[in-house]
Amino acid sequence: MSKKIIKILITIVIIGTSIYFSFNMIMNSLIHSKKELEVPLLIGKSLYDSLDELSKIGFGLIKDGEEANQNVPSGIILRQNPQASILVREGKIIKVTISQGGEIVYVPNLVGETIRSADITLKRSTLVMGEVERKFSAVMEKDCVISQDIKAGQKVDKDSVVNIIVSEGLPPEGTILMPNFVNLNIEEAKIWASANDVNLDIKTESNEGIENNTIINQYPQPDTNISDARYVTLTISTNEINLQ
């Protein structure tokens, strides 16, 4: 290799080395010229408010993930990196993890189930059985669920509490509970009313989709104690067309 070529190569190496070190010096100068700032506390704040706060003091923000959290509303920051109060250079990107809120589940239908069966059904749905109230019932067999305080099909947070009312069976002699007559023929209600000395107020409502004399509404509601009042209003369907 000629001396001329060697000189050219050496010159290129020297120039390249000078450029590299010059670039590093410039970058270090720029980095160290930035102010050191204290990272603010973002935990418990919304993503929008945190972004606004950070932009005003020269920080950036990036969402690093989401997690379901029963106790923290959706969109609220759970964690941050770097942590609050740490001193970092201006322009630092703060990573945050935000809450997705509580896990949502559907409430199952417990009516007609035994207490044990209802408890198992709730646990499978990640729900909790709450208070168990007992009352006499002419509608539901003993130890079966009559009603629940959160209706079936409603959306609730995971681990929500569902209270139930359970049948204690038929009431003592002399107590009259209102049966469920809806969808039955009016004749069945008349037989019951006669046997229990109950007065019936029968109203009619035109409904072509339901068979004549079928009970479509009642007052009071099933299992209401009517021992003292002994007065019941029933609405039955009629397909008759009134001619003018």
**Domain range annotation of the chain:** 1-33, 36-102, 104-167, 186-238
| DSSP category for residue 30 | H
Q: Do 104-167 and 36-102 have the same topology in CATH?
A: yes
104-167 CATH: 3.30.10.20
Question: What local confidence, expressed as pLDDT, does residue 209 receive?
Answer: 85
Residues 103 and 121: their CA atoms lie apart, in Å, by 18
> CATH 3.30.10.20: does it fit domain 36-102?
yes
Average pLDDT over the chain, rounded to an integer: 87
128, 156 Cβ separation under 8 angstroms: no
Give the pLDDT confidence of 3-17 residue by residue, as tens digits: 566 556 556 655 665
Tens of pLDDT, residues 123-141: 999 999 999 999 999 999 9
pLDDT higher at 43 or 239: 43
**102 Cβ partners below 8 Å, 6+ apart?**
68, 69, 70, 71, 157, 158
Predicted structure pTM score: 0.58
